[in-house]
Structure 1
Amino acid sequence: MKTVKSQSIVHPVIFIKILKDKRLVVIDSKTTVRFYDKDSLKVQSGFKVNIEHKYYKNNVVDYSYDGNYFATMSADAKESRLYNAQTKKAIARVTRHQGEVSCVGIDPLSRYMFSCGEDGKTFALDVKSGKIVFTLPHHADTINDVSCSKNGNWVAIASYDRKITLFNLVTMTPKEKLKAHSAPVMKLKFFGRNKLVSIDKNSKAIIWNIYSSKVIQRLEGIHDDVTQLAISSDDKFLFLSTKLGYILVYDLNTYELIAPRFIKITSPITSLAFDDEHNHLIIGTQDGFLMYYDIFEKVDTLKNLLMKQDIDAIEEEVKKNPILRYTDIYSLVSNLWENTLQKAKKAFQNGKKEQALLMLKNFMKIPSKNRVIQKLVSDYAEYDKFVQLAKNGKLALAYSLANQYPVYKESKIYKLLEDRWKKDLFQALKYALQPNQMERAKEVLAPYRGISNKTTFIQDVLTKGAIYKRFRTALGKKDFKLASALVQQNPFLKEFPEYDSMIKYADTLYMKIQKLIYEGENIAAMKLMHLLSTFTDFKDEVELMLKEIQNKQKFYDAVERGDYQTAYNMMAEYEELQETKAGEKLQNEWDADLIKANNFAAVGDVNGVKNILHKYFDISSKITALATIFAWTYINQLETAIREKRDRKEIENGIKNYILNFGVDDQIEILFEIFKKRYKDTKLDIEQLKKGSLSMWRPSMIVKSILD
């Protein structure tokens, strides 16, 4: 593929991101930050941080989506730093890792900066105050990557210990660690509503369902060290860059490898981004270049070739760029092939071989299509024989040929055979149900003897007439549950017109339900769902639809009557509710209150936090989040007390109270080390103290000062 445009950055390009205001931010290994017009690549502004990063396989820098904050590691990786991107002033420095900092990240809502280290610890800083608010669950080894979901609800961290931590930022609670990799996990990326892709040191990639913590798929075809990954904004394509300069592309619907060498450049790829406005993949390289590639390159060429009906040339272009298969233009080509194929089959069936081949002429130079055409020619060589056998009533031989050449089953004459079979079967059943008419039933079915796929049905009709009666009676009473059960136990019932009518009725119900849901008529839809659920084939799907509608209805009812306890708890359990207008409003309200509360927490003002968040005290899904905020508030009280050199016993009492309420966490351990250095005569041993936990904390435990 050819570059659409490129720009020399001189030094390795270690970070690319399109910001909320559409600017493109590019950061090189010397931490020179440049802002470009993403379309023209004209420099708009920039600044230098004067930190040289020699190792940048992990995310050593990050920029907030709103453009207000910038995170980086120091050159010696001893600390991570958070800057206000507008003032260029440092907000915070994290020096608490035991060992080097390994990566940094900022969540998409610009609430937290994450500082990850070789010690397996991840500190989350409030970006406004720059203070540590909470820590993520520890890992036994280095953290290699941190990633957040687009909606900011989830954060994931990948570790050298081969595990992945999932943490819910709404409830402030962790899920169980994901364990399926046999090597250190190096890269992570969320996509869709509930999916995560992870890649390990052995270039093995896994797709996860984050709700169930189950492996959905393992990707095949990666044979090089993956350096970066990007996902198209519509979540259709996964792009993986490699150390050898290749870009691999995967279909995120089927998880199949689309192209193992979609792009090849001479330098290792060090950063990736995707511009959804123009479908451009943006690549940063180790030799200091920024390059744009149109993933749908040559789509205009496809349009022109389609107008000329040059299908061969179209396929040649698609070979060069396999992503073109996903365009509307190529869909027209696929439809043209299918329509032409069907017309050609009819021509073959009418004995017009030359006409059929003329229709297919444009596709003959395409190897995959030519194989289909040649098989078609070979299969239809026996078609006239099939027709004669059918017309002469030699049904066993006719059906045998149809089984040998399945394409015959698409013909009009085969369908006439099947219609006759169903009528004969029904007639035989009528005779079988009458006294002394069994011989006539056998006589009707005699032509079908020796047809393997009819034998079982014939035996059932001759011996299970009573079951058919029960089936018809069940349908007459609209007892579809019993009718469906009888069909499952007795497949021969599918051969009768009553079964076709039953299925058509079920399909009609399903379409009505979908229409009602779309129109917001949930109550009417639910009534029909109860009826549709009696059809065995639809039972599971109806249960899912019914549960989703019931949840939404219960959620809307809760919001309408002001029952925010139920509404927030449901949003925590069913994340899709956050995408509704009511859910979005509630989530925005919580986020806004959280920002206000954090401002008070940063200065240890318990009453300020309490006044903002008291309305959430009875919401069970918010308890851990509330506990996290109050714990941080009390840590800030203790830090202030140490800084002001308050009485040792008073601070010791505060530490005891903190541990009694919240247990021993990273914040209190770090603070205790500071305390021991300042108050060398302390005899306090936190390991001997009675310990609480965040999960056991309740709002009734709030005190104005942890020191009291």
Structure 2
Amino acid sequence: MLPVKSSSFSEAVVYTKVINENSVLVVDSATAMHYLDIGTLNVKSVLKCNIVHFRYSSDVFGFSSNAKYFVVISSDCKESRLYDIKTKKIISKIDRHHGDVSSVALDPQDRYMFSGGDDGKIFVSDVESGQLAFTLTSHIDCVNDISFSDNAQLVATASYDKNIHISSLNTMKLIHKLRAHSAPVMKLKFLSKNRLFSIDKNNSAIIWDTNNGKIITRLDGIHDDITQVAVGDDKFLFLASILGYVLVYDLHSYKLISRRYIKLNNKITSINFDENNKHLIIGSDSGELILYEIYLGENKLTQFLREKNYVQIYAEIEKNPLLKYTETYLILDTLWKKTVQRAKELFGKSDKKRAVGIFGNFVTIPSKKQIMNNLIKEYEEFDKFVLLVKHGKITQAYTLAKKHPLYEETPVYKSLELNWKKSFMLAQKYILEPKAADKVNEILAPYRGISEKSKHIQALLTNAQIHRRFKIAIAQKDFKLVYELLKIHPFLKEYSEYDSLSKYADNLYINSQKFIEKNDTHSAVKLLRILLDFEDFKNEAKDIIIEIESRHKFFNAIRDNDITVAYNLLESYNDLQNTIEGENLQKLWDYDLYAVSEYVFRGDAIKIKKNLDKYMKINSKILPIANVFARCYIVQLEASIRERKEQLYIENGIKNYILYYGLEDKIFTFFEKFKRNHPKTKLNLESQTEGSINKWRPSMIVKSIIE
């Protein structure tokens, strides 16, 4: 792949972000922020911070979506710092890690700054206030990466302890602890459709389902250490390696498209994707910034297709395999498939001359010519097959068809199969009549030498009673019994009743989907409830019914202004979060939670309670509300030191805090400050009666933690 644009910097490129249609941000290892024109890559402005980084395999820099803030690790890796870009002042810093800071991030909604450390802890600060908001469930080793879902509902953390934590940013609770890697997990990336990508130090990559925490698939073909990850056009997963290669995977099939899609001479330290221009933006440790157009060559494909120059189209695809995903190639691929199908039809009519001629311009393409030659060879004995059928040599005809499976697509073979089905159906009819054994044997005699048919014939002769029960169960619509019989007696699938049953199920499903499209969910559910008894449909039918019922409950709750039910359903069903009503509910919660920040930092528990009272019965909001009050009570404790309250008075507040929330990071941090002011204290935190924030309830709200 050849680049379309490039630029260079004096330091390694550690971060890139498309700001808007016209600008891209490039951050180097000295934390100089270069704002570039995306069309020319000319520098428009530079903001220098002089924070030099010597390690940047993990994220040392983060930029807010509203371009107001950035977060960065200090040069000595002891602090995470949040800056206001306009004033260039520090809003907040986190220096609580026991060891180095290993990774930082800002969530997509610019609410929180995240700081992961070598100690496995993840501290989270409120962006607006700069105050510590909460901590996520700790790992037992270094935090290597932090990633967010696009809707900012989930955060995932990867660690040297080989585990991945997925937490809810609404409840601050750990949802899934993913354990399948045999080595430290180094990189994460949320994908669309509730998926998460992860890769470990041994280059083992996994795609996870974030709904249930289960593995969807493992990716093959990764042999280099992966340094950066990007998603392009919601179709491709780009993996940049330490050796300068970019691998690309299909996010639908999970197959490796190219192991060497791009090759640089240096370690790739940054990779991003520009959705507007379909450009892959790559930065290296040598300071290179290079832009690649992922569909480079598409215009040529269109011209070649117009000229029917198929050879050149495939030559362009050899240069850029992602061209296979363009509309032009899809047109050509459809044409090729229709050509192959038409050739099969002509071969099936013994018209070899026209069958070969129909390939036309495809003949000069080596890979297509090979397919054509294989087809010709496959149909060499077709005339013999036709003669066998014509002369009633059924056993030999089936033997030849087994040797050449493509014959099964021909009208001759289909006619052969139709005769078998008619014969078998007639035998089924007679088998249920008394004294009709000779008639059945006569009907089925031509098929006794065919292994695939013999087993069904034998089953028919020995299981007439089971067949009778099967027919009665279908007639009575006792589908549970029908499928129990099918499990025990697979031969029943050869009966015409089974074909009718399958068509009936298909029609039920199709009609249910039509009702859903018309918003007639009542009629849809009626049909889906019938499908619950059909093995092939029951799981999907159950999921659709649950989804329909939850949506009904959700929208009824919205109509009735029952936000308790609405929020609880919103937390349980991810699809509801993508509705307008779901988004509005989430915005309302975010706004109300943000609105109480001023009361938190004043330590005003009563005002917080008043403003969040409508959320107190919502299960998914209890933990975030508990965190809000925990921060409020820490503010009260800190105020008691500033106001020089009596030592015993403050110690009582510490005991109360531990009773409510347990021994969490915030109280340890405060206790260190308390001991500096009261070095003679004999208070021992570990000896206190310990509660848990996870068991906190609104009934535990008090005006003051100290009193």
Deviates more, 1:115-124 or 1:192-201: 192-201
- TM superposition shift of 1:413: 0.6
Deviates more, 1:210-219 or 1:648-657: 210-219
Partner of 1:468: 467
- TM superposition shift of 1:140: 2.1
Counterpart amino acid of 2:542? E
What is the aligned-residue identity percentage? 47
- SS of the counterpart of 1:536? coil
**Contact map agreement 1:122 1:137 (CA 8 A) in 2:** yes
Q: 1:224, 1:57 → 2: CA distance?
A: 14
**Contact map agreement 2:21 2:276 (CA 8 A) in 1:** no
Structure 1 residues without counterparts, runs of 5 or longer:
none
- Spell out, residue by residue over 1:655-702, the C-alpha distance to the aligned partner (whole angstroms, 9 max, x if none): 111111100111110111111112112111111111111011111111
Partner of 1:245: 244
- TM superposition shift of 1:367: 4.1
Partner of 2:444: 445
Partner of 1:325: 324
Partner of 1:192: 192
Alignment of 1:295-694 (within 5 A): 295-694=294-693
- Spell out, residue by residue over 1:358-402, the C-alpha distance to the aligned partner (whole angstroms, 9 max, x if none): 222433444443332222111211111100000100000000101
Q: 2:361, 2:631 → 1: CA distance?
A: 71
- Are the structure 2 counterparts of residues 203 and 487 from structure 1 closer, same or farther at C-alpha, using a change threshold of 3 Å? closer
Deviates more, 1:428-437 or 1:543-552: 428-437
Partner of 1:294: 293
Partner of 2:219: 219
Q: 2:557, 2:179 → 1: CA distance?
A: 38
- Are the structure 2 counterparts of residues 202 and 499 from structure 1 closer, same or farther at C-alpha, using a change threshold of 3 Å? closer
- SS of the counterpart of 1:87? coil
Partner of 2:154: 154
- TM superposition shift of 1:176: 4.3
Calculate the TM-score normalised by the size of structure 2.
0.96
Q: 2:405, 2:217 → 1: CA distance?
A: 33
Counterpart amino acid of 2:78? K
Q: 1:468, 1:685 → 2: CA distance?
A: 78
- TM superposition shift of 1:605: 1.9
- Are the structure 2 counterparts of residues 382 and 526 from structure 1 closer, same or farther at C-alpha, using a change threshold of 3 Å? same
Calculate the TM-score normalised by the size of structure 1.
0.96
Partner of 2:122: 122
- TM superposition shift of 1:22: 6.4
Q: 2:638, 2:41 → 1: CA distance?
A: 47
Q: 1:22, 1:571 → 2: CA distance?
A: 37
Residues 1:47 and 2:75 aligned together: no
Q: 2:227, 2:325 → 1: CA distance?
A: 26
- TM superposition shift of 1:55: 1.6
Counterpart amino acid of 2:213? S
- SS of the counterpart of 1:123? strand
- SS of the counterpart of 1:211? coil
- TM superposition shift of 1:304: 1.8
Counterpart amino acid of 1:196? L
- Spell out, residue by residue over 1:184-235, the C-alpha distance to the aligned partner (whole angstroms, 9 max, x if none): 221111112322111222222122222322222222211112111111252x
- SS of the counterpart of 1:250? strand
Q: 2:207, 2:536 → 1: CA distance?
A: 29
Deviates more, 1:530-539 or 1:262-271: 530-539
**Contact map agreement 1:429 1:462 (CA 8 A) in 2:** no
**Contact map agreement 2:136 2:173 (CA 8 A) in 1:** no
Q: 1:29, 1:539 → 2: CA distance?
A: 55
Partner of 1:271: 270
Counterpart amino acid of 2:62? D
- TM superposition shift of 1:161: 1.9
- Are the structure 2 counterparts of residues 436 and 176 from structure 1 closer, same or farther at C-alpha, using a change threshold of 3 Å? closer
Deviates more, 1:104-113 or 1:537-546: 537-546
Residues 1:9 and 2:9 aligned together: yes
Counterpart amino acid of 1:571? L
- TM superposition shift of 1:487: 4.0
How many residues matched? 707
**Contact map agreement 1:637 1:705 (CA 8 A) in 2:** yes
**Contact map agreement 2:32 2:50 (CA 8 A) in 1:** yes
Q: 1:313, 1:233 → 2: CA distance?
A: 25
Q: 2:432, 2:679 → 1: CA distance?
A: 100
**Contact map agreement 2:80 2:104 (CA 8 A) in 1:** yes
**Contact map agreement 1:20 1:65 (CA 8 A) in 2:** no
Q: 2:595, 2:445 → 1: CA distance?
A: 84
Q: 1:39, 1:475 → 2: CA distance?
A: 67
Counterpart amino acid of 1:648? Q
Deviates more, 1:621-630 or 1:459-468: 459-468
Q: 2:557, 2:516 → 1: CA distance?
A: 20
Structure 2 residues without counterparts, runs of 5 or longer:
none
Q: 1:517, 1:301 → 2: CA distance?
A: 43
- TM superposition shift of 1:167: 1.4
Partner of 2:88: 88
**Contact map agreement 1:171 1:572 (CA 8 A) in 2:** no
- TM superposition shift of 1:301: 1.6
Counterpart amino acid of 1:219? L
Deviates more, 1:583-592 or 1:204-213: 204-213
- TM superposition shift of 1:103: 1.4
- TM superposition shift of 1:640: 2.2
Q: 1:560, 1:512 → 2: CA distance?
A: 29
- Are the structure 2 counterparts of residues 16 and 360 from structure 1 closer, same or farther at C-alpha, using a change threshold of 3 Å? same
